[in-house]
Structure 1
């Protein structure tokens, strides 16, 4: 008889004589595991049944918001094909994404309303400026399609090359913010093919800005405006701000040499940004 056979028989005898306590411990563990599996299976089954019971069909679609260019019926028509299943099965993110693809919808919030309702809050795009002869831009410089635009002709006019809408809108917003404390409002902003900028203000004033350093030139203009030009606005036709140390004024009417000298002293005496 070999040594391996003897070892095998010894192991079997050892297993046959395992203490009762060890066997009971093993049985307890097995039963506990079986009970845990049963509980998990029951929870899954019960959860699925509960989900099916709560996942009731959508009965009402409520659309809220202030509407001018978006029709509530169109919003509902866009949502209905996206409703597959009940209220819990809805993919709210997908519904929101699809609605925000609409050219006149800026933002959408979608929420469930128990027991079977869907609430959609819509924020419309707002036209900030006119673009060229026919277009309109929102605050991000994106084109908007508008049918009846007769009530939007008061908006400022932006003009530039194709595909420059975003950069012009950005410049318009920055310059408009800069001018706001002085009570000046832009009615037209243009950048030509050479990259030169032109502004028209609500008070009838035209500004020749030229190429580059737009914000720096506008800050320089505001210094001169507050010092001397504000009280002379009715006499001014155009202001050229392309110079480093001042501005050139084209007068709409003749003024006397004394008046011109007084205005020049007001402008030069305090000094301008960039003067030595």
Structure 2
């Protein structure tokens, strides 16, 4: 009887030992798989593919920004952190990042679309994008396109208002053969424009579209009124305008 009672005990302990070994082996295997997956040497990201309609950013620029720090393995690479690093590049507006098995990292880049220079007398690298937001970037990549962008200036807290005035006024002017080269919004929100033909328009704070329309209506008469080119037109009157023509001597100095 004593020998028979010891048999179940031996079977129990041997079964328990086997179970413990299986569990330990399973956890060891899981641990090995985890560390292997997280090891960039074991499951490396070998290919970086940069996509998008690129004009100001090159694939090499993106690679330089990303490869300055370790990316991790296919499994450990954090796509949100990588996206943030790409979006920190000056000419990048948005980016999306995804991984493709077994070793590809794909980055899709949306560049900033410049609308205008912003407060260029304060910062040479300040620009406005098409959404009316300020960003700072090297303008040299624009090439000759930098001279084609208008110059907007105003209080830093009034960016949206300056952009709104530019869009509305420039649309009306372009319909009639003019275009804005510069727009300045004063601290008191008074608007002054310089057109691409060099004429300065002082509009004030109210009825801006009506005053632009008055300029458009009067321009043929003003242009024919005197041989000298128009220097500036003050439209801050309920009726009429004040016109200043360029001095012939100044005109000769500028042409020489």
Q: Identify the TM-score tier after normalising by the shorter chain.
A: 0.5 to 0.7
Q: 1:186 is matched with which residue?
A: 180
Give RMSD over aligned pairs. 3.8
Matched, 1:128 2:128: no
- Distance in 2 (CA, whole Å) between partners of 1:194 and 1:64 is 45
Unaligned stretches of 5+ in structure 2? 1-29, 249-256
Find 1:59's aligned residue among 39, 46, 49.
46
- Distance in 1 (CA, whole Å) between partners of 2:247 and 2:45 is 71
Change in 2 beyond 3 A, CA 1:172/1:196: same
- Distance in 2 (CA, whole Å) between partners of 1:99 and 1:233 is 56
Counterpart contact for 1:112–1:119, Cα < 8 Å: yes
Matched, 1:146 2:133: no
Find 1:238's aligned residue among 218, 232, 239.
232
- Distance in 2 (CA, whole Å) between partners of 1:58 and 1:233 is 71
Q: 2:87 is matched with which residue?
A: 100
Q: 2:251 is matched with which residue?
A: none
Q: 2:169 is matched with which residue?
A: 175
Question: Once the two structures are superposed, what CA deviation does each residue of 1:136-165 show, in whole Å capped at 9, x if it has no partner?
Answer: 312224132326477424432223234444
How far residue 189 of structure 1 moved from its aligned partner, in angstroms, is 1.1
- Distance in 2 (CA, whole Å) between partners of 1:60 and 1:160 is 46
**What TM-score comes out, normalization by structure 2 length?**
0.61
- Distance in 1 (CA, whole Å) between partners of 2:120 and 2:232 is 22
How far residue 114 of structure 1 moved from its aligned partner, in angstroms, is 4.3
How far residue 97 of structure 1 moved from its aligned partner, in angstroms, is 3.5
How far residue 249 of structure 1 moved from its aligned partner, in angstroms, is 3.5
- Distance in 2 (CA, whole Å) between partners of 1:178 and 1:233 is 26
Change in 2 beyond 3 A, CA 1:243/1:117: same
**What TM-score comes out, normalization by structure 1 length?**
0.57
